[in-house]
Amino acid sequence: AAIPQFPHDFLWGVSTSAHQIEGAADERGASVWDAFTTVPGNVKDGSTAAVACDHYHRYREDVALIRELGVGAYRFSVSWPRVLPTGSGSVHTAGLDFYDRLVDELCAAGIRPVPTLFHWDTPLVVQEAGGWLKRDTAERFADYAAVVAARLGDRVTRWITLNEPAEHTLLGHALGQHAPGERLLFDALPVAHHQLLAHGLAVRALRAAGASDIGIANSHGPTWPASADAEDTAAADFYDILLNRLFADPLLLGQYPDGIGELMPSPDLAADLRTISAPLDWYGINFYQPTKVGAPLPEGTAAEFSGVTLPPELPFSPREIDGYPVTDFGWPVVPDALTELLTAFRDRYGDGLPPLVITENGCSYEGLDDQERIDYLEGHLRALHRALEAGVDVRGYFVWSLLDNFEWAEGYRRRFGLVHVDYDTLERTPKASYDWLREALRAQRP
């Protein structure tokens, strides 16, 4: 079955990230993920992204795959340590040249390049100087944004500053299950503030370079209380603040959720919030699943969800969402939650909400004949269309991901690609979902 008719100027795309697909780690500066993956146990299959999909050398073939798919845009990320090996100072020319060639290849194929400037691969030198716990990193990031915009800004108009600062804060700094492996719990909150500040300063740098189409991509999902009991609804509300509002409120309302602001390290919080809430041209949402949350489990056991183990010290505990199919990753498939999320965003942020773009949506399943991925994508596109019909202003949709790739702490075990990658031969093979999406897009009226 085809998918509903979307507006004729709806932006269709696919998403990837540098560390997850590029490889060629020996041709760039080190990042926190290179260091993290060398520590035994950090990556469940013991792998690293030193080679990954070798996109760095095979990008022409991958651009051809994007072109044949028929999407109009490609969201990738620029590796900060590939452009500035120590995070600042001298530019690694060969690194910046790679993105120059990639953008030219995309433009020649009639595909709009949509670079994300930060997708978790902080230069290791920046991390060793304090990383996102240090305010100065926000300034370094803005300088890096200016370097990239100066080189690519004549062909790139649509920019994304950060990818999922919420997950990078939670997994990378509060729980230590992602790079840089800090287990700070609530002492990780400054990481949120400094990423938001970096975003605001980068917006300023991009506008100074002439950019006129700027967004951010953050992970969001509805948080459902485990029960109507007060302690469960309070826990779900708290998780909603940490996952959703901690970032969206400063960006879209210019204020932190109640009680959070005074926890943030800032010489002048009001001034920082003015920088953070610089007007956006659109807001990107990465959506995968809803989360069910309740009060901490009585026995205080750590609770596992979507591959993440939350320690008993946190004032909430995730709960299984049963009654729905689950992906190979154990993530529940609940398309209606996307409609719920988007209408809730519209209701919460009202006029403060710029146009939305789904910057990531996808699922992990094995196999080339991936009917489950077709069902997942079709279900979520129908749910997205219901949000459009309810009046939510959504302008685009990007599938995570073009290629099977390095799935962070899971290594290569989780396959999110429309295209299969054989990691021994690096051969790409389009899956059934690739063919399905290509036909579905052809059926969209121009």
* Binding residues for ligand GCO (CB under 6 A): 17, 20, 163-164, 167, 286, 360, 400, 407, 416
The distance of closest approach from Cβ of residue 219 to ligand GCO in the complex, given in angstroms and rounded to an integer, is 7
164 catalytic residue (yes or no): yes
Closest approach of ligand GCO to the CB of residue 443, in Å: 27
CB of 431 to ligand GCO, least distance (A): 16
- Minimum CB separation of residue 127 from ligand GCO in Å reads 18
The whole-angstrom separation of Cα 434 and Cα 321 is 29
Among the options 22, 182, 340, 360, which is catalytic? 360
CA dihedral 274, 275, 279, 280 (to 10 degrees): -140
Tokens of 68: 């044949």
Query: Is 286 one of the annotated binding-site residues?
Result: no
Nearer to ligand GCO, 217 or 295 (CB): 217
Q: Which two tokens stand for residue 248?
A: 């969206």
Q: Which is nearer to ligand GCO, 163 or 275 (by Cβ)? A: 163
Q: In this structure, which amino acid lies at residue 266? A: S
Residue 376, classified by CB atoms within 10 Å of its CB into exposed (0-12), middle (13-18) or buried (19+), is buried
Active-site residue, from 164, 340, 372, 378? 164
Q: 239 labelled as ligand-binding?
A: no
Nearer to ligand GCO, 33 or 400 (CB): 400
List, in sequence order, every beta strand (DSSP E) within 349-412.
Answer: 356-360, 394-400
Is 105 one of the annotated active-site residues of the chain?
A: no
E strands, 78-190, where?
Answer: 112-118, 158-163
Minimum distance between the CB of residue 308 and ligand GCO, rounded to whole angstroms? 10
Nearer to ligand GCO, 92 or 415 (CB): 415
d(Cα 156, Cα 99) in Å, to the nearest integer? 11
Cis check: omega of the bond before 180, within 30 degrees of 0: yes
How far are the Cα atoms of 15, 18, 43, 217, 326 from residue 139, in angstroms, in the given order? 27, 22, 31, 20, 41
Give the residue with the Cβ less far from ligand GCO, 161 or 286. Answer: 286
Collapsed DSSP state (helix, strand, coil) of residue 245: helix
CA 154-160-162 angle, 5° bins: 135
Is residue 163 part of an annotated ligand binding site? yes
Instruction: Output 221 or 225, the one with its CB closest to ligand GCO.
Output: 221
State in angstroms the smallest separation of the CB of 49 from ligand GCO. 11
CB of 414 to ligand GCO, least distance (A): 7
Largest CA distance in the chain: 59
Q: Is the Cβ of residue 74 or residue 400 nearer to ligand GCO in the bound state?
A: 400
Contact of 274 with 201, CB cutoff 8 Å: no
**20 annotated as belonging to a binding site for a ligand:** yes
What is the smallest separation between the CB atom of 188 and ligand GCO, expressed in angstroms? Answer: 17
User: Please, are residues 420 and 368 in contact by the beta-carbon 8 Å criterion?
Assistant: yes
The residue number with the shortest CB distance to ligand GCO is: 164
Q: Whole-angstrom Cα distance, residue 232 to residue 294?
A: 4
Nearer CB in complex with ligand GCO: 225/376: 376
CB atoms under 10 Å from CB of 136, counted, come to 12
Q: Which helix (H) or strand (E) holds 74?
A: strand 73-77
**CA proximity to 431, closest of 351, 349, 356, 376:** 376
365 annotated as ligand-binding: no
d(CA 100, CA 297): 51
Distance separating alpha carbons of residues 101 and 116, to the nearest angstrom: 16
Distance (Å, rounded) from C-alpha 114 to C-alpha 402? 14
| Helix or strand run (H / E) with residue 217 | strand 213-219
Binding residues: 20, 119, 163, 288, 400, 407-408
Binding residues for substrate: 20, 119, 163, 288, 400, 407-408
Residues taking part in catalysis: 164, 360
